[in-house]
Structures are given as structure tokens and as C-alpha cells.
Amino acid sequence: MPFALHYHSPVTPDEFRRHGHQLIDWIADYRARVSDLPVMARTRPGEIKAQLPHAPPESAEPFDSVLTDLDRIVMPGLSHWAHPRFFAYFPCNGDLASVLGDYVSTGLGVLGLAWQSSPALTEVEEVATGWLRQMLGLSNAWSGVIQDTASTSSLVALICARERTSGYTLARGGFQQVERPLVVYVSAHSHSSIEKAALLAGFGRDHVRVVAHDDRWAMSPEALDAAIAADRAAGREPCAVVATTGTTATTAVDPLGPIGATARREGLWLHVDAAMAGSAMILPECRWMWDGIEQADSIVVNPHKWLGAAFDCSVYFVREPEHLVRVMSSNPSYLQTAADSVVNNYRDWGIPLGRRFRALKLWFLIREHGVAGLRARLRRDLENAAWLAETIRATPGWRVLNPVVLQTLCVRHEPPGLEGDALDAHTRAWADRINQSGEAYLTPAVLDGRWMVRVSVGSLTTEREHVEQVWAAMQRAAAPSR
Amino acid sequence: MPFALHYHSPVTPDEFRRHGHQLIDWIADYRARVSDLPVMARTRPGEIKAQLPHAPPESAEPFDSVLTDLDRIVMPGLSHWAHPRFFAYFPCNGDLASVLGDYVSTGLGVLGLAWQSSPALTEVEEVATGWLRQMLGLSNAWSGVIQDTASTSSLVALICARERTSGYTLARGGFQQVERPLVVYVSAHSHSSIEKAALLAGFGRDHVRVVAHDDRWAMSPEALDAAIAADRAAGREPCAVVATTGTTATTAVDPLGPIGATARREGLWLHVDAAMAGSAMILPECRWMWDGIEQADSIVVNPHKWLGAAFDCSVYFVREPEHLVRVMSSNPSYLQTAADSVVNNYRDWGIPLGRRFRALKLWFLIREHGVAGLRARLRRDLENAAWLAETIRATPGWRVLNPVVLQTLCVRHEPPGLEGDALDAHTRAWADRINQSGEAYLTPAVLDGRWMVRVSVGSLTTEREHVEQVWAAMQRAAAPSR
């Protein structure tokens, strides 16, 4: 018998215990002091990379040197999503309860390839997504599965739509051999991931129909009907419509009632992108926004956004899991187990085979806050956004461009005499001044051809005082004296 | 001014500190005692779910009750991938150094939508994937990006192949309007995710050509050439070939030299699936396995498998990032920043828009072990697998079916007189007895129409003694006295 090599890991459970305690304190300190840091990183491109060795270390390095580099090199290169004056993009709230749930997942290191490869991973996911379903007011006709992001969930939806309409052509000639071209209907205010999903699924830009919207940026059901009729007349086959509850730019609400009726009548797949605003559906007073949701075929809601689950946690709800499984299933011998006929094998509910125990972060979040606690936080944010909208509307020279039904405001400062490109330059300049100052972080975006600034309220730690502070910063940054 | 609602989180940084320390100890204890637990969960379907409330809690629950449920309900429902007698599937080693890196990522909660949304997230990923590239012996013509799993990386590869061959039809009529059908070449021993990727990308099963393999289950370059010629003659367009370095069932090695030459000559995209065995390429003595790798267009290597990165961490290497970006790019106004022209925006290198700071777990892993440490561990595993193969081959009635060039053995116990279905029943029975006993966990699989048992060596904590134990368990389980 040859000599048996032994391997001595530098990170034993005891070392992990010691360094883990250090790290917990490091993260706790970070979260406690994050409000003192500049919100947006003021790093120059390449600046971080230049401070790190080009080649990997041959020998093990002490843990403290990694921690030192985190403080010295990484930290100045972060934009702080947990900052109370983070009003950019959308709230991506890694609530600390959820963070702990994710720590359990990573520490256990178990993997869901099949139900049997860790039964609890699958069954807690069924329970946690079932809880979320009830919180959102969805009927029990829906089944949920956790994906990484809404981009992926929407790609899965459009592939499923493609296969349903084409009679499962993936089992034969594929999408490259459909008889008549299939068409997807979106709005100009659908998220960029929707067009991307349609292109990746193979529809082609010529078959992504951008349906007109009304003056509140909501998809027009009449325009949808007309577009479908025109495509049918031209020999094309309408396949899917993607409606949004709370669009990215303005939180517009596409009318699901009439859109759903059209989808049912015309045999289209209705996918509802509620990635951001879906969290608000835990509030009964917000549910008017998805009146008609039960007519959908699939829905995506991202608890890793406003609700507070640690990224990544995108829940994809479907009415017919059998259809999803038919499109996504793979079943080689090495993945077969005796339990397969009576359990969910979530590998067949999405693209990846391997799956983390992601349900834990959702499970911890809901249990540590309770539904009442999560509702209270979201109501605080809606209240803060409404206050800010009211305050801005009452201030001469300032405009709120969108109906603030959720937590995002589209704002423009319009000093007398400033128009067109000059106004655009002014808008981008004051937003940039705020972002560069480190005081707050906002996202400029284009609406109807003109730049405006999105103020997205809803970071975990954002209280009224922080909203007052960003408003003060906006007024200073846009002041004529600059 | 209306009354400002305040929200009091139940998990403040101080609460996080307290519970975080508890959890670190819980995980450290778990890792220290995992070898005392049954490897495979012996849960009945539905057993976990039945112990959890159907409805979400209205009020917050104390942290201790969640921890109690983890111990009482979740733990018995886990199959333990960190167990030293885990020989199932493949090693998915959540090394504790890497776990700590992931804890930093989750605790920071920063998100990579654009370089600017946290510059360090992008730049540390460039550095860490660059380190991995050098460790694998790849030239600097390659650029890496972290995806979730090889399933996703391979889907990205086949979509990119489809678009290159079709002249970027996604910008026009889409894959549904190609003139001649595009064909993908795989082997019967390609991973199930490859066919799944081809079907999701729209090729259709009729256009997934299964190329014959030799008696060591490696793809035959001559058969590939013949299949390509036959498709061209029939008016179809060869598009991509997927070769595997270390197949799932037998760790067969497809010959990249001749396959790459064919791909170059015929204008095919060559995607190399080295998800599992790629880790071994950090050992110069193993690099003969991917002689010819520089001819590939894309490669996937999963550091979350044998190498030890916490799941999920699949590195996708490409030679032409511009092509990848052209296929995957989306650039709405709300994601544009001043730095865009001079930095990598990794959202355009894959499907998801939002991205975790996944590079940290790879960065921590490499730094805490050093390249030498990682090499030493992999050599230990290769040595253990070779010892087991030699021992089994020397034992009458037992067969090792594959050349053990890596860490996976395909084993059969063939008692005299047992053949056909009776032999299959015997094979599955002894594997099942071991799995049900909790002593060790193995994966039965079909090879050339007959069941065999895969013994995959390489769990972090697996030392020679554990390999000796599984071999003793195999002999007991297959003994005629049963």
C-alpha cells in the first residue's frame, strides 16, 4: 500500500470559529457605521485591480492579511446598498435576519440536485414560497420556486411560452423550425431584461412588439389588441405578453385585468414582472395594482429587493408546474432516485442543476420579522415616499413626473427658462453632484426623451430624517448659485 | 407634515452580532461533528414539510425558535455533502475559507448591476478569475466571469454559438427565422445540462447530434468529422461542438486536440465542459487532459466542485468577450454611467442583471490555501482514488470499469453466475444498502446499458481511512450472505 498523503486544511472548524467571530463583528460594525460612509464609491476605473497582485499566492496567507485588504482596498471601492441614503436603482435590502439564514445555507454547503440530495432543501423551499404566496394574496393555484434573478425568471417564462405555443418543438426540430414566427408583446417601459430574455430565447428583435402606453406609462390594452390583430393578419403567431406591476423607471402599473382577458382570449402566455413592486402586494391596500393577476401564467417577485431577502432570491410562480417540468426536465441515470415520482425535483423548475439552500434566507426573514413586521416597514417607506412627493410638488421650480403609488419618485428641477438639452445637462449635473458628494445616491434616467432623476425610497435603515436629508441635498445641488 | 412612521428592526447590528456568533459556533460544531451523522438523509417524502406551519407567522419569532427548528426539523433532512464519507455525485466542497468569503459578500449586501454600483465587486472578480486562469495554465487570451452553475455557463455558450453562426440573428428575425437548421454536436457522455442547454437555446432535439465515442467513452474525432459532413450534405449548418474534460459518469476525456482542429477547420464553436475536472488542471501532471484547450471558444470550470469554493461559483472563460457582450448586452438609461466605456459591466457577460460579490469566495479560497495548498489536497484525492482502484482491481469478483485518471471510480461487483437484470438488481441493492445505512453515500448510474456504482473521492475531509471504510462497507453490502 503506497504512502497515504494527508492534507491539513488551514481552515479547520476551530479556525473557522475564530475567524467567523471576527467577521461577524466586522459585518456588524459595518452595518452600524455604514451611514458615515460616502454612499457611492468614488473609485477610478482600474484603481482596485491595480492594488491587488496579478498572480495568485503560492502559499497560504494569514487571515488577517485578507481582512486588512478588505478594509484597505475593497471597502473604498464599494457603493453601499445598505446605506440609509441609498436612493439609487431599487432597494436591495439584505436584512440581517435573512443574512443569517444565508449564512446557514453556505455553512452547511448542501446541494439540491435532486430531492434526495438534501430533502430539507426542497421542502423548506416549498414551505417558504408557499408562505410568500399567501402573503401576496395569491390563490393556491400557484406554485413557487426560487431562481437567482428576475432576468432568469423571465427567460424561463418566455422559453416556456415559446414551447407551449409551438407544441413543444424543443423535442423535435426546435425553435429554428417553427412554421410561423412567434411574437412577444412588451411595453417600452418593460425592464431591459424582458427584451434580453426574448432575444436569448430566440424570438429576435423583429418579433418583440413594443405596445403603446398611456400617459401614465401603463400598457394600453387597446394597443395590445390592435398589435395582436395586425400580427395575425400578417401571418405571425402571437405567443406571449409581458405585463409589469411597477415598472423600473416610473413604477407604472400595467392593467392586468384587460391584458389578462386578452391573453386568455387569444391564447397568449401572460408573464407578470412584479420583481420590484411584488413585495408591496403583502399590503392589502396595494393589491389593486395586480387586479387580474390570477389570469397570468407566470409571475416573478423578487424578495431580494424591497422585502429584504439577501440577494439572490427571485421567486417564480407558475400555475402549471407540469408544463415547466416538461420544458426544463433532464433525467440522466445518475440523478434518478426512488423518490422521484412523489417529490419535487426543483432542478426541473429552472435552468441550473445545482441549487443552494436559498429558502433559508426567505424563511429566516419571514420568521424573524413576521408578516406584520414586514408590512410595517413597507408602509413606512410608502409614507416617506408620499411625504417627499407632496413636499416636492409644493416647491416652486420642482416637479414630480409620476404618480407616486409606490416608493419611487421621478423628479426634475425645472428652473424658468431652462429647456431641452440645457435642462438635461442641468438634471444630470445636479444628480452627479449629489452622487459624487457621497451624501446620497440617486439614479438619473430618461423618461419620454428627457433626463429625470429617480429617487427610490426603501432602504432598510432609511427613516424620515434621511429622506429630509436627500431633499435638502437635492435643493442645494440644483441651486442657481452653483 | 404627517406623522412619520418609524420602523424598529428586530435584527439590529447588535442582535446580528449576538445571533451571528451563535450561528458561527453552530456551523463550526456542525463541521466538526458531521462525520458522526448518517451521510444520506433517510427522510420520507413530505416529512419535513409536515412539521412546518402551512401559514407564515403574523408576528416575529425569537431567533432561538428558528435555531431549534434547524436542529430538530432541518438537520435530519439533510444529506451531508461535507461528510468525509460522501462519495456521491461529485465533491462540492464548501471550504470554510471560502464560506467566510461568501459571508462577507452576503453581509455587505452590495450588488453589481454596473461597475459603478460597486466597483470592487467587478475588479476583484477580474483579479480572482485571472488568478484561476493562471492556476489552470490557460494563456492570457482568456477572460473569466463567474456564473452560478455550469448549466447556465453552457447555455450562454450555446446561445453565443447560435448567434455567431447565424450572423447575430437575434437583432433581426431571431433563431426562428434561420435559413438552414443549425446543429450542435455532443457525446452520449456529455452532461445532461448540455442537451438541456441546446433545447433551451432552441436547437431542438433533432439538431443535437450524439457523436459516437471510443471504448473509453471519449468522443471520436472521426465520428465527429463524419457527422459534420453528413449534416452539411443534408443542407444543415454545423454550429457548435461540446467536448468534455472529465465526463460525469466515467471522467472520460474527450480529445481536444483533434476536436479543436475540426472546430477550427469547420468554423464550429468549441465549448469545453470541464466543470468537474477543470479543478485538476491546477496540477501540471493532469494538463495532458486538455491538450488543445487553446483552440476552444469557451470553457466552463466550477471551482465550487472539487476545488472548494462555496456554491455557487462557476467560472466561464471566453476568448472574445466582445462577442459575449454583443449577445448579452442591455443598456437602458437607468444603467448607464460615465465609466461604461472603460470598465467591464459583467451584467453583459451573462443572463442575470443583478450579481452578488461572488468573487470573494474564490479570492478567500485561493489566499487562505495558496496554490500549493490546493494542489496538495487534490493530489491527496487522486492518490486515494488510485489506491482504491488498485485495491478493488486486486479483489476477485470486483471490477473497476473505467480508467481512473481522476478521482471517480465506476465499480461493479460481479459474483459468478450473476448477469443481466439480476446483476443490475444486485448492483442497485448493495448501493442502496450502503446509502440507507448512513455509513457512506454513493451514486448508482447506468454505463453501457448496465447499472454500476460511482465512487467519487474528493470531499474536503476525506482521508485514506474514509476510503478504506467505504471499501469495507461495499464488501459487506455486496456479500453473498445478504
Query: How far is it, in rounded angstroms, from Cα A469 to Cα A449?
Result: 29
- Which residues are paired to A300 by β-bridges? A273, A316
Predicted confidence at residue B11, as pLDDT, reads 86
The C-alpha cell of A440 is what?
A: 446620497
- Cβ count near B280 (within 10 Å): 29
In angstroms, rounded to a whole number, what is the distance separating the alpha carbons of residues A300 and A293?
12
| Helix residue ranges, H only, B34-83 | 47-50, 63-69
Q: How far apart are CA B469 and CA B437, in angstroms?
A: 13
Q: In the 8-state DSSP scheme, what is residue A451?
A: E
Over range A345-353, report the average pLDDT.
Answer: 94
Mean pLDDT of B201-211: 98
For residue B454, the chain A residues in CB contact (below 8 A) are 334
Contacting residues for A473 by C-beta, under 8 A, at least 6 apart: A434, A437, A439, A440
Dihedral over Cα of B366, B368, B370, B372: its sign:
negative
Instruction: Name, in order, each residue with C-beta under 8 angstroms of A90's C-beta and a sequence gap of 6 or more.
Output: A248, A276, A305, A306, A408, A456, A458
pLDDT at res. A338: 80
- pLDDT category at A3 given cuts 50, 70, 90 is low
Chain B closest CA to A102's CA: distance in Å?
Answer: 7
> Which grid coordinates are listed for A152?
432568469
Q: What is the pLDDT of residues B225-261, one digit of tens each?
A: 999 999 999 999 999 999 999 999 999 999 999 999 9
Residue B252 φ then ψ, to 5°: -70, 155
* Alpha helices (runs of H) in B60-118, residue ranges in sequence order: 63-69, 96-108
Strands (E), A135-258: 143-147, 182-187, 208-211, 237-244
Residues in A closer than 8 angstroms to B22, CB to CB, are none
Rg from Cα positions in chain A? 24
Partners of B143 in the beta sheet? B318
Of A304, A302, A296, A327, whose CA–CA distance to A316 is shortest? A302
How high is the pLDDT of residue B2? 45
Q: What is the CA radius of gyration of chain B?
A: 24
Q: What cell does A105 get? A: 445555507
E strands in B323-476: 398-400, 408-413, 443-447, 450-456
- Cβ of A45: how many Cβ atoms within 10 Å? 18
CA-to-CA dists, residue A129 to A303, B52, B56, angstroms: 10, 13, 10
Closest CA to A121 of B222, B66, B225, B70: B70
Across the interface, whether the CB atoms of B463 and A333 are under 8 A apart is answered no
Identify the pLDDT of residue B7: 73
- Listed by number, the residues of chain B in 350-379 with a beta carbon closer than 8 Å to a beta carbon of chain A are 351-354, 356, 363-364, 366-373, 376-377, 379
Residues 274 to 333 of A: which have CB under 8 A from any B CB?
304, 310-312, 327-328, 330-333
Q: What is the pLDDT of residues A120-160, one digit of tens each?
A: 999 999 999 999 999 999 999 999 999 999 999 999 999 99
Q: Is the pLDDT of residue A16 over 90?
A: yes
What mean pLDDT is reported for chain B?
95
For the stretch A238-261, pLDDT in tens is 999 999 999 999 999 999 999 999
Output the CA torsion A340→A342→A345→A349 (10° steps): 130
How far, in Å, are A51, A55, B151 from residue B143 at the CA level? 19, 15, 19
Q: Is B116 on the interface with A (CB under 8 A)?
A: yes
Residue B221 Cα, gap to closest chain A Cα (Å): 24
Q: pLDDT tens-digit profile of A150-208?
A: 999 999 999 999 999 999 999 999 999 899 999 999 999 999 999 999 999 999 999 99
Grid coordinates representing A464? 424620515
* C-alpha grid cell, residue B30: 456542525
**Count of C-beta atoms within a 10 Å radius of residue A140:** 8
Give the span between the Cα atoms of A297 and A293, in whole angstroms. 9
Looking at residue B3, its pLDDT comes to 53
B-chain residues near A201 (CB < 8 A):
202
How far, in Å, CA of A194 to CA of A423, rounded? 30
Contact in structure between A243 and A254 (CB atoms under 8 Å): yes
pLDDT(B10) > 80: no
Question: What residues pair up with A144 in beta bridges, in sequence order?
Answer: A317
Q: Give the residue-averaged pLDDT of B310-314.
A: 97
Please tell me whether the interface predicted TM-score (ipTM) of this complex is above 0.90: yes
> Is the distance from CB of A319 to CB of B123 less than 8 angstroms?
no
Interface residue A212 vs chain B (CB under 8 A): no
Mean pLDDT, to the nearest integer, of A367-382?
A: 97
A25 in contact with B, Cβ within 8 Å: yes
Distance between CA B388 and CA B467 in Å, rounded?
Answer: 7
B314-351 residue pLDDT tens: 999 999 999 999 999 987 777 788 888 888 899 999 99
Q: Which of A41, A63, A152 is closest, CB to CB, to B352?
A: A152
Question: What pLDDT sits at residue A341?
Answer: 83
Q: What is the pLDDT of residue A330?
A: 81
Cβ(A439)–Cβ(A473) below 8 Å? yes
Strands (E), B328-456: 398-400, 408-413, 443-447, 450-456
Contacts of B193 in chain A (CB under 8 A): 330, 353
Identity of the amino acid at A122? T
Distance in angstroms (rounded) separating the CA atoms of residues A384 and A386:
5
**Does the distance separating the beta carbons of B2 and A110 come in below 8 Å?**
no
pLDDT tens for A47-84 read 999 999 999 999 999 999 999 999 999 999 999 999 99
Are A222 and A213 within 8 A, CB to CB?
no
- Whether B1 has a pLDDT exceeding 50, the answer reads no
Q: Is B429 on the interface with A (CB under 8 A)?
A: no
Q: Is the Cβ pair B16, A9 closer than 8 Å?
A: no
**How confident is the model at residue B9, as a pLDDT?**
76
Q: Does B37 touch chain A (CB under 8 A)?
A: no
Is A36's Cβ below 8 Å from some Cβ in B? no
Alpha carbon of B164: minimum distance to chain A alpha carbons (Å): 13
Phi first, then psi: what are they for A245, rounded to 5°?
-100, 100
Locate B7 and state its grid cell.
420602523
